[in-house]
Structure 1
Amino acid sequence: MSICNTYEGRLRIIELKLENAYSWVTGWKPSAVFKLVNSIRINGVPSSSLVELTQENMRKVEVLRVKIRLEEEKVEREMERQQAAVVDRKMAELVRLVVRVKNGEQVRQVEGLVEVALKGVITGQEKVMKAANCARLRTLKGVLDVLSPLQRV
């Protein structure tokens, strides 16, 4: 397998990871919780105590929704930044260099550069996914804090 095929494959894996992160594939968007709560409350799902949410509780849920939406937007901006990093000029130059490499010593040097670049992309991706998980956790905790024990069930 040539060095080009190896790195093209790795870049494709990173591209897929970015696509997955962008669609929140490891979980769900926190805003989905608020849609679910509203739907259950408004549609009066049988045996649901969410219909009985007080105005004060609804105000708290709305404040949380706004706060979480800002957090979602922050995660999405970071995702976009990570995607831009994959296709920036330095990465394009690195790919061109990989394609031109012929002798063994240059290959080792280029491999080192590529490994450093890929490590940066993966680290950035992990940061995005941690932020997404934190947003989901804060959403669940925030909503559960507003609800009564029966409503939580």
Structure 2
Amino acid sequence: MSKQVHHQQSICCFQNWMAQQRLDLDELLQALTNYPTDIDYLQLITKKSISHIEHYSSARAQLAKHDGPSFLAPTWGSTFENSFLWIGGCRPSLCIRLVYALCGSQLNEHFTEFLEGVRHGNLGEISGSQLKSVDDLHAKTVKDEDKITSRMATLQERVADEPLAMLANDCTQIGESSPGEAVEKVMDTHALDMYNILIEADTLRLNVLKGVIDILTPLQGVELLVASKKLHLSLHEWSKRRDIKMGVTQLLNMNFPSSSNDPPPEV
């Protein structure tokens, strides 16, 4: 199968994922509105949403085998989105920071009710033991991120080592092909190393999300998933519009995929 076909499949994979996130967001919002006290249903809808994340991670892992670098600098993302990428996606610790942000905003919003003893069971009412567990997970996650970042930095620095640097130095013309396609073989090796780091980063992202969900109550977990999907979907739409406004889309002749022409969900 040609690299062009694999690349098109990667774009379709991302488009399908954005569409799935919108469907999941609608279902999660309905759960918050109609079944906020139904623990079993909240747990069911949470597991369903996470299973979709697992399916997407698995699908893109299969595609990334053919070209890991494409997922580290995806052409299907906007420039603003890509500027925030950490090894092909968001930083795992972003999920935890979102918990902190939601806790603070919801507590401020319902502070008077909280003092009067009114309880909503949401993230604004996270317990001390829960917060301690989140803090511990945050500290561990940052260490794990640093390890993967260090490995990625080493891989990037290796571009200046043998054999790529020497192959480039020996060229009589810039970018000329090398005997025996040596350059392509070396680049394929680097691409495989990048793929392995991408898989490790995706695994960490998924494990951290599951870890946070396990700490939260079912209602809090649904609220977190709603907020994270709103953030991802809104940032994608806002960033795409910004590229159009800045002329980046026309300049690079890009067609950023979107699962819908609808306005981004309110955050």
Q: Report the TM-score, using the length of structure 1 for normalisation.
A: 0.74
On the 8 A contact 1:29/1:136 being kept in 2, the answer is yes
Paired position in structure 2 for 1:133: 202
Q: CA deviation at 1:29?
A: 0.6
Distance 1:117 1:66, change over 3 A: same
- The ranges of structure 1 where at least 4 consecutive aligned residues each deviate by more than 4 angstroms after the TM superposition are 13-22, 45-48
Alignment of 1:29 onto 2:91? yes
After the TM superposition, which of the residue ranges 46-55 and 82-91 deviates more from structure 2?
46-55
Distance 1:35 1:16, change over 3 A: same
Q: Tell me which of 193, 199, 214 is aligned to 1:145.
A: 214
Partner AA of 1:34 in structure 2: I
Paired position in structure 1 for 2:134: 61
On the 8 A contact 1:34/1:65 being kept in 2, the answer is yes
On the 8 A contact 2:92/2:141 being kept in 1, the answer is yes
On the 8 A contact 2:69/2:191 being kept in 1, the answer is no
Partner AA of 1:71 in structure 2: D
SS in 1 for 2:88: coil
Cα deviation code 1:10-60 (max 9, x no counterpart): xxx998876679942632111111111111111226577011111111111
**Where does structure 2 lack aligned partners over 5 or more consecutive residues?**
1-66, 75-81, 110-119, 223-267
Paired position in structure 2 for 1:40: 102
- Quick one: distance in 2 between partners of 1:15 and 1:60? 35
Q: CA deviation at 1:120?
A: 1.2
**Where does structure 1 lack aligned partners over 5 or more consecutive residues?**
1-12
Partner AA of 1:140 in structure 2: L
- Quick one: distance in 1 between partners of 2:208 and 2:157? 28
Two-structure CA RMSD over aligned residues (Å): 2.9
Distance 1:134 1:107, change over 3 A: closer
Give the helix-richer structure, 1 or 2. 1
Distance 1:17 1:140, change over 3 A: closer
